[in-house]
Chain A
Amino acid sequence: MKSLFWITVIVLCISCQSHNVTRINPETQIDLSGRWNDSDSRMVADKMVNELFASERFKEYAKENGKKPTLIVGLIKNKTTEHIDASNYIKKFELAIYNSNVADLVESDEFRDKLRQERAEQQDFADPSTVAQWGKETGADLMLFGEMSSETDTNNNRRVVNYITTLFLTDIETNKRVWYGQHEIKKLVKN
């Protein structure tokens, strides 16, 4: 019975622990399940931005173009087995380009349609002196495409996953690839 008493005391002590929430630095790398997470998105964005800024071919294209190139984000295909939101790193990528001023960005189809709808409504309802004009949109020079894929190998309770993220910029006029970036993240997960 003595041991039962101590068990009861211990469980009562444990039950006193309260629900705990702590705010941490978003840059902190925390891996729990081994699946794709925020750290992977950040690593891909950083790597791709660095590669783009260091790319001689991109610089050459900008020089030949005679003006700062304009970019539009196209389709990022996800061929992995996980539901990964590519916009998490694409937005970081866009932000770095925007802040560095190496290229201009124009809205992709999702927001472009909203803008066109707003512009159409302005024609009927807005003060004529403030109405946005048709035919003034900036045409993009380059489109960003991408693909994510993964290869998984499992044995007993161990899993190796290799995530391959590939991004490329293509000249809309000539279909020529101007820049190509690839980043691999390989993870070993033991359950």
Chain B
Amino acid sequence: MNKFIQLYLLRHASQLPESLKLSGSSRKLSGSSGRLKRCIYFFVLIAFAVGFGACATYYQSHLDFNSEFEHGDLGKALETLKRRENEGDGKTRFLYNVNKGLVLSILGDYEESNEYFEKAFLFGEDYRINYVAEATSYFSNPNVTAYRGEDHEHLMVLYFKAINYLKMNKPEEALVECRRLNIRLNQLNDKYVSLEKFQRDAFIHTLMGIIYQSSKDYNNAFIAYRNAVDVYENEYAKMFGMVVPQQLKIDLLNTAKWTGFQDEFETLKVKFEMPDFKESTAEADLIFFWHNGLGPVKDEWSINFLIHSGPDNTMTFTNSELGLNFPFVVTESKDRSDLAKLEIFRVAFPRYRERALYFNSAYVQLDSNKYFLQLGEDINKVAFHSLNQRMLQEFGKGLLRAALKKAAEHSIRKEDDRLGALIGLVNAITEKADTRNWQTLPHSIFYSRVPLKEGANPVTFTIQSNNQRNIDYSFTYTAKKGQTLFHTFSSLETMTGPYRYY
């Protein structure tokens, strides 16, 4: 028997209906007609088949690709994705496209990479809720719906796309992505009323500023940088304990000066406690992005709830250990009595599992000057925060799903006990959280601006691990006067595997 099924049955043995406990299940069903038996066997087989797929998380069901990617075997990872081309049209097409786009980007195939990122972007633009799939999800699990993508994942699509264009020296196309980012940020800002939610992305504002600055549009760069500072100082400080990157302060001051905003320039110098700052223009610039580690993976956890009847047609789902109470209004007295008989049941919810960083700092050295890379985005924290903020909503959806499934089971049980028991088994097996997320994203993004001279610039990039292990890489950048070059360096190492790509 498959290990997932074995594990599942061990975990949920107590919840299986008595008539369907595995040992001697055929004996327990004796007395039925042969035809009914065949039907039930057929359903049990289907249930196991569903259970086989349902038990594995999204990460586990793509273990081959994940393993190849984490071990830095990107060629093989790409081949694996190509073998699964059918996923490009399926429920997880967003994830298929972003994974393929990201792998191709690291491999340096920017043109093809952007084709896949564009597909992911358009998916987000054209996404419409499939109500049939949504309704079905309440009788099975959320994985029957198309994966919509987290807010920060949609922003990251455009980040990678813009960077790909900049590496291909196509600034006009990068500016298009910049405008799309602006629309996405506005949409995100309007989406939530609560200020506790992830509404504004400081790093994306910074990126927009960098792109505008590279196109010599200093006014728009100034606006983007100023917005980024505002988000870092407020939301990011409170939510993620982050500070305004020093590079951002310098870029904001420079663009204020170059736009002719003298008052703002003087005010910002005082605010940033940089009274001696003088604006400076290098012959050329290098923007170095360091994609450090790997972002979190969605996992599953489950909670047992008790049901209590309350006043005014309410039924309350309670978990006293976690102090959770969710009242539902159930108007039909028959449904209330069905639910009241449930007493206890398990509901699965998603949660993130962090992949801890192996490296903690890095710098670029040009001549004798060291430029330390500064944390711009902690994707890990953004992901955790976003899920935590909507956990109540997840609880509500999970409980409604469990209640509907259980009510259906009890209703059918009244007509036919064995069929009801079978439905109960299928319900238990299909109970599952949505564990899908973009798992090839970096854990954190660091960046810095390095002033270059016209011509060849040999630099050393040094990454430092938690145990003070240093690894050096050498690059030479050839720049034209006034040009801004872009480079991304991906360290795929986490605390479990040392691999890197650049």
Contacts and interface: CB of A to CB of B under 8 A. Distances in A.
B132 A78 contact: no
A12 B131 contact: yes
The size class of the interface chain B forms with chain A is 20 to 34
Interface stretch (B145-153, B223-231, B237-245, B302-310): B223-231
Nearest to A191: B193
Nearest to A82: B223
B223 A78 contact: yes
Contacts of A78: 219-220, 223
Given A4-B408, A15-B132, A77-B219, A33 B224 contact: no
Contacts of B60: none
A14 interface: yes
Given A12-B131, A35-B186, A4 B260 contact: no
Interface string B371-415: 000000000000000000000000000000000100110010000
Interface in B120-138: 126, 128, 130-132, 134-135
Contact of B411 (A1, A14, A81, A83): A1
Nearest to A16: B131
B259 interface: yes
Contacts of B226: 81
A1 B408 contact: yes
Which has the most chain A C-beta neighbours within 10 Å: B179, B223, B227? B223
Most A C-beta atoms less than 10 A away, residue of B131, B134, B190, B224: B131
Interface string A1-39: 111100110011011000100000000000001010000
A64 B190 CA distance: 52
A79 interface: yes
Interface in A141-163: 157
A166 interface: no
B331 interface: yes
Given A19-B128, A191-B190, A7 B224 contact: no
Contacts of A35: 186
B332 interface: yes
Contact of B135 (A7, A81, A82, A157): A7
A155 to B, nearest CB: 12
A80 interface: yes
Contacts of B87: none
Given A3-B335, A82-B223, A15 B131 contact: yes
B261 interface: yes
B182 interface: yes
Interface in A65-124: 75, 77-83
Contacts of A14: 131
Nearest to A148: B219
A150 to B, nearest CB: 11
B402 to A, nearest CB: 14
Interface string B91-127: 0000000000000000000000000000000000010
24 contacts: A1-B335, A1-B411, A2-B332, A4-B404, A4-B407, A7-B135, A11-B132, A12-B132, A15-B130, A15-B131, A15-B132, A19-B126, A19-B128, A33-B190, A77-B219, A78-B220, A79-B264, A83-B179, A83-B182, A83-B220, A83-B223, A83-B224, A157-B193, A191-B193
Interface pairs A-B: 3 shortest CB-CB? A15-B131, A11-B131, A11-B135
